[in-house]
């Protein structure tokens, strides 16, 4: 959860206790731990914090309650430092992705402005550039598109620039909501509808092109739903996984009656897969 207050607790104890602490606390809703050698920092969403449970665990491990220090951390853009200085990206000589503080580049076909705000999708990651490259080879003219797990909205922006008639985009992430809107405005894009939530939001509609750059588990668990919302002859473009995950994803896609059109990987083994849905016999 990225838009809630967190409780941060610094616990000074022996290194031997770190492992026990993290095991016990992770059973009680604590999400993450930082090992700082002389002390450990533990984190839990503030509304899940329970003083009594923490005290019991400290007693169990014979940790002096006086040796801990608690802070509340408000939600903020932790990625601001990187975002303030990132370099523009050029993809396939025709897409240029830059922040609002970069100058536009001359002689580029598709100029995209992205202000990321702790959301995924700036073109720097292999999967984003692979998907964008694949999109250049797809006919988007007057097509309807579903951008599943849209992050910054970068793929929706490109889809509209490539001629799509409309894009429906979703993401479960708290920060995506404002960020997508901001990026659509920066690029003067209309025709994109964003909803915060998972794929269950999409009911009754089908799209010419479905794009999903997420991860293996989400793609596998929602494959039937994804395939159901692709129109006959429509396309499904997926990424967010490694080449070793292709077998499982391919099997799931084929079992839903899709036909594999293309597969491409980078040298870091990130992979995209493109499928087409056949007409109903």
Partner 1 sequence: MAKEISAYVKLQVKGGAANPAPPIGPALGSKGVNIMEFCKQFNARTQEKAGKILPVVITVYSDKSFDFIIKTPPAAAQLLEAAKIQKGSDQSNRKKVGTVTWDQVKAIAEDKMPDLNCFTIESAMSMVAGAARSMGLNVTGEKPY
Binding site for partner 1 (CB under 8 A): 1-2, 4, 6, 8, 19-20, 22-24, 26-28, 31-36, 41, 43, 52-53, 56, 60-61, 73, 75-76, 78-82, 85-86, 116, 118-122, 124-125, 127, 173, 215-217, 240-242, 245, 270
Whose tokens are 């533990």? That residue is 42
Whose tokens are 């409309």? That residue is 166
- Residue 26 backbone dihedrals phi, psi, to 5 degrees: -65, -20
Q: How far is the CB of 139 from partner 1 (least distance, A)?
A: 28
Q: Pick the closer one to partner 1 by CB: 127 or 166.
A: 127
Q: How far is the CB of 272 from partner 1 (least distance, A)?
A: 13
Q: Pick the closer one to partner 1 by CB: 6 or 207.
A: 6
SS3 240: strand
Q: How far is the CB of 200 from partner 1 (least distance, A)?
A: 20
Cα 211 to Cα 151: distance, rounded to the nearest angstrom? 12
Whose tokens are 């996984």? That residue is 241
Q: Pick the closer one to partner 1 by CB: 87 or 190.
A: 87
Residue 213, strand partner residues: 239
Angle, helices 154-161/126-136, rounded to nearest 10 degrees? 20
Cα 18 to Cα 63: distance, rounded to the nearest angstrom? 11
Are 77 and 118 a contacting pair, CB within 8 Å? yes
DSSP secondary structure code for residue 179 in this structure: H
Q: Pick the closer one to partner 1 by CB: 123 or 234.
A: 123
Q: How far is the CB of 101 from partner 1 (least distance, A)?
A: 16
Q: Pick the closer one to partner 1 by CB: 47 or 93.
A: 47
Q: Which two tokens stand for residue 86?
A: 């990132």
Residue 241, strand partner residues: 271
Q: Pick the closer one to partner 1 by CB: 28 or 111.
A: 28
Cα 179 to Cα 4: distance, rounded to the nearest angstrom? 17
How many CB atoms lie under 10 A from the CB of residue 76? 10
Are 278 and 235 a contacting pair, CB within 8 Å? no
Q: How far is the CB of 49 from partner 1 (least distance, A)?
A: 13
Q: Pick the closer one to partner 1 by CB: 8 or 198.
A: 8
Whose tokens are 């206790």? That residue is 17
Q: How far is the CB of 185 from partner 1 (least distance, A)?
A: 21
Q: How far is the CB of 163 from partner 1 (least distance, A)?
A: 28
């Amino acid at each position: 959860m990225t838009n809630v207050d967190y409780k941060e607790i610094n616990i000074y104890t022996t290194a031997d206790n770190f492992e026990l602490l993290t095991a016990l606390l992770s059973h009680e809703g604590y999400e993450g731990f930082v090992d700082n050698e002389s002390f450990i920092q533990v984190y839990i969403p503030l509304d899940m914090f329970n003083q009594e449970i923490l005290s019991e665990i400290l007693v169990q491990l014979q940790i002096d309650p006086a040796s801990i220090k608690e802070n509340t951390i408000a939600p903020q853009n932790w990625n601001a430092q990187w975002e303030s200085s990132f370099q523009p990206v050029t993809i396939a000589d025709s897409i240029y992705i830059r922040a609002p503080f970069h100058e536009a580049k001359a002689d580029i076909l598709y100029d995209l402005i992205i202000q990321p705000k702790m959301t995924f999708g700036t073109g720097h990651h292999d999967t984003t550039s692979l998907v964008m490259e694949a999109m250049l080879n797809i006919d988007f003219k007057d097509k309807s598109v579903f951008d599943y797990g849209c992050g910054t909205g970068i793929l929706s922006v490109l889809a509209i620039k490539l001629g799509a008639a409309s894009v429906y985009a979703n993401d479960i992430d708290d920060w995506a909501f404002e960020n997508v809107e901001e990026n659509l405005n920066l690029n003067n894009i209309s025709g994109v509808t964003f909803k915060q939530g998972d794929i269950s939001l999409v009911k009754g509609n089908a799209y010419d092109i479905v794009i999903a750059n997420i991860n293996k588990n989400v793609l596998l668990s929602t494959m039937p739903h994804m395939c159901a919302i692709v129109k006959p002859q429509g396309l499904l473009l997926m990424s967010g996984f490694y080449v070793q995950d292709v077998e499982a994803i391919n099997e799931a896609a084929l079992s839903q009656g899709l036909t594999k059109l293309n597969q491409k990987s980078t040298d870091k083994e990130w992979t995209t897969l493109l499928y087409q849905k056949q007409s109903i016999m």
